[in-house]
């Protein structure tokens, strides 16, 4: 659209020879001086819609490079087996954590029953021999051991609970919970008193999958942990074990006003308010635990979530919870 330009009055270009601000040693060249202002058209010219090939060429090269990278990445990974990734891990001394990461992802999507019979022993041996390697390698190998769900990995993972790298210990605790072997309880229960809240939290989570009666008292004690999500994990794990001790806390986790006041330390240790995704997870996990326990003491709160929560996924979870809870508690 064309727009009329406003008339702008202009001062005549000064003669540099009479300008007191110009140093005297600057030579004035009348052939280079602009004595009159350049003529400005009354209307702006319509910009061209064509794009310079020089501008488009780098963009095209970038898109082509991305396409080639993705294509060859897919080709390189297509048809690879867990044993292929494990062989690559054992051959590489640098960045071996990358194939370990890919291995953990593949095992999460693949049925462990179809694995080569030699794979799990080889994976355990590789994990045990990685103690002095990159911690990232240890973490992803621990995840992989959890994904195969093989009880032969319990011993190696229990040893990893004492790694100096806290994240490796956390990954190992998660893997022990995934295995669900009661032999892991003696290594996990002491972590409920660990000074690191991350280890307390994951130990509480893992113990919820183990049918070990001696873990119930320390889990009940953890309901009063000063770090909220540690206490939440204790309540959720107790619910998985059929223990109703955490019901008051589960009811509280349905209250958005309460969740709005909860803070969680970020990677730098600074307290941060929960994100919407974290609040959603807390509410949904509490709802699922109430269903597991068959608890009808928070039906009014669940109805409020179903009818008015701002998060659609929370409303859907609340609707499903009301459907799943005993009919005797519903109107």
The string of DSSP codes covering 73-125 is HHHHHTT--HHHHHHHHHH-SSSTHHHHHHHHHHHHHS-GGGS-TTHHHHHHH
In the chain, pLDDT over 90 holds for what percent of residues?
67
Of the candidates 241, 240, 238, 198, the residue with the CA atom closest to the CA atom of residue 221: 238
Residue 205 is assigned to a structural domain of this protein: no
Residue 7 is assigned to a structural domain of this protein: no
pLDDT tens for each residue of 29-38: 333 333 334 4
Residue 43 is assigned to a structural domain of this protein: no
Number of domains in the chain: 2
Domain encompassing residue 175: 80-179
Last residue of a domain, one of 179, 202, 235: 179
Residue 285 is assigned to a structural domain of this protein: yes
User: Cβ of 288: how many Cβ atoms within 10 Å?
Assistant: 18
pLDDT tens for each residue of 127-166: 999 998 999 999 999 999 999 999 999 999 999 999 999 9
pLDDT tens for each residue of 268-304: 888 999 999 999 999 999 999 999 999 999 999 999 9
pLDDT at 40: 43
Q: Give the DSSP H or E segment for 177.
A: helix 166-179
pTM over 0.75: no
CATH number at residue 110: 1.25.10.10
Same domain membership, residue 250 and residue 171: no
The pLDDT of 169-175, averaged and rounded, is 98
Residue 92 is assigned to a structural domain of this protein: yes
């Amino acid at each position: 659209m064309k727009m009329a330009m406003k008339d702008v009055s202009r001062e005549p270009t000064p003669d540099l020879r009479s300008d007191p601000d110009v140093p005297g040693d600057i030579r004035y060249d009348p052939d280079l001086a602009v004595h009159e202002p350049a003529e400005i058209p009354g209307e702006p010219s319509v910009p061209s819609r064509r794009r310079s090939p020089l501008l488009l060429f780098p963009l095209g090269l970038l898109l082509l490079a991305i396409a080639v990278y993705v294509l060859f990445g897919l080709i390189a990974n297509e048809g690879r087996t867990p044993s292929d990734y494990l062989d690559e891990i054992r051959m590489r001394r640098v960045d071996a954590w990358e194939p370990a990461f890919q291995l953990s992802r593949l095992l999460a999507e693949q049925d462990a029953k179809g694995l080569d019979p030699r794979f799990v022993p080889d994976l355990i041996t590789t994990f045990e021999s990685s103690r002095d390697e990159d911690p990232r390698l240890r973490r992803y190998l621990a995840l992989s051991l959890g994904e195969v769900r093989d009880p032969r990995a319990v011993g190696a993972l229990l040893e990893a609970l004492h790694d100096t790298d806290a994240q490796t210990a956390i990954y190992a605790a998660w893997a022990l919970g995934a295995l669900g072997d009661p032999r892991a309880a003696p290594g996990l229960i002491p972590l409920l008193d660990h000074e690191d809240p991350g280890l307390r939290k994951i130990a509480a989570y893992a113990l919820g999958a183990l049918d070990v009666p001696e873990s119930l008292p320390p889990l009940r004690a953890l309901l009063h942990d000063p770090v909220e999500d540690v206490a939440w994990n204790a309540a959720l794990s107790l619910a998985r074990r059929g223990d109703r001790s955490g019901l008051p806390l589960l009811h509280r986790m349905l209250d958005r006003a309460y969740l709005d006041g909860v803070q969680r330390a970020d990677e730098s240790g600074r307290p941060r308010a929960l994100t919407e995704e974290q609040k959603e997870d807390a509410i949904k996990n509490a709802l699922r635990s109430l269903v597991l326990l068959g608890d009808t003491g928070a039906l009014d709160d669940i109805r409020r979530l179903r009818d008015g929560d701002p998060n659609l996924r929370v409303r859907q979870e609340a609707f499903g919870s009301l459907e799943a809870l005993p009919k005797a508690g519903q109107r």
